[in-house]
Amino acid sequence: MLTLVIGNKRYSSWSMRPWILMKEFEIRFEEIMVPLYREDSKSVLFEQSPAGKAPILRNGDMSVWDSLAITEYLADLYPDLPIWPRDLTTRAHARALACEMHSGFAALRNECCMNFGRAPRSLSLSETARADADRIDAAWRDALARYGGPFLFGDFSAADAMFAPVVLRLESYMIPMSDEAQRYMNSIKSLASWREWSLSATGEEWRLPQFERD
């Protein structure tokens, strides 16, 4: 059976992405939680992969790290599952958005930490973070208009898994979004996997002060 090594569900956005993907596509896996930013966290993670970062997917003696690399490995491992859209052009669009999420929006991520325990309240954003949110809104509206929703490319796909933590950030910091984007956010939050992750995240007892600062 596959093993997915993740960090704290309250804070670990990168761990959330492959976890939700595997849950939605009913890929069986064992979960190992490694609380992050503890004295022994790095040494435990280095036992799982040479990068020493969560998430990590293990399949026997092999390990894959990085959310997007895990996603691509799962798509190869389960070619019958529509992890990416089947149509070539649509799949390219989905991958482009997933990669943009993976490598971009640094200001929004840095200013709006993922925290499933944070009561929604607004925060003054920099112009760069606001531009990140505007770009996300525009990208979502474009995909939803092209493919009809309720998810970015019609049915749930890896692209939606990549953006799932962003939905929490936008909601937690009460960042204004278009009506179309808000409906998409509601679709993500209606997923059984989202509800399961959220319940576990809010039930975690440990707290990391650097993510509770605002």
The per-residue DSSP string of 3-59 comes to: EEEE--TTT-HHHHHHHHHHHHTT--EEEEE--TTSTTHHHHHHTT-TT--S-EEEE
Identify the band that residue 210 occupies on the pLDDT scale cut at 50, 70 and 90: low
- Which whole-number Å values give the CA distances from 22 to 35, 67, 90, 125, in the listed order? 21, 12, 21, 33
In the chain, what are the domain boundaries?
2-81+204-211, 88-196
More confident call, 143 vs 45: 143
Identify the band that residue 205 occupies on the pLDDT scale cut at 50, 70 and 90: confident
Q: Is the pLDDT of residue 206 over 80?
A: no
Give the predicted TM-score (pTM) of the model: 0.94
Identify the band that residue 26 occupies on the pLDDT scale cut at 50, 70 and 90: very high
Does domain 88-196 sit in CATH 1.20.1050.10?
A: yes
Task: Indicate the class that CATH gives domain 2-81+204-211.
Answer: alpha beta
Q: Is the pLDDT of residue 20 over 90?
A: yes
Q: Is the pLDDT of residue 115 over 70?
A: yes
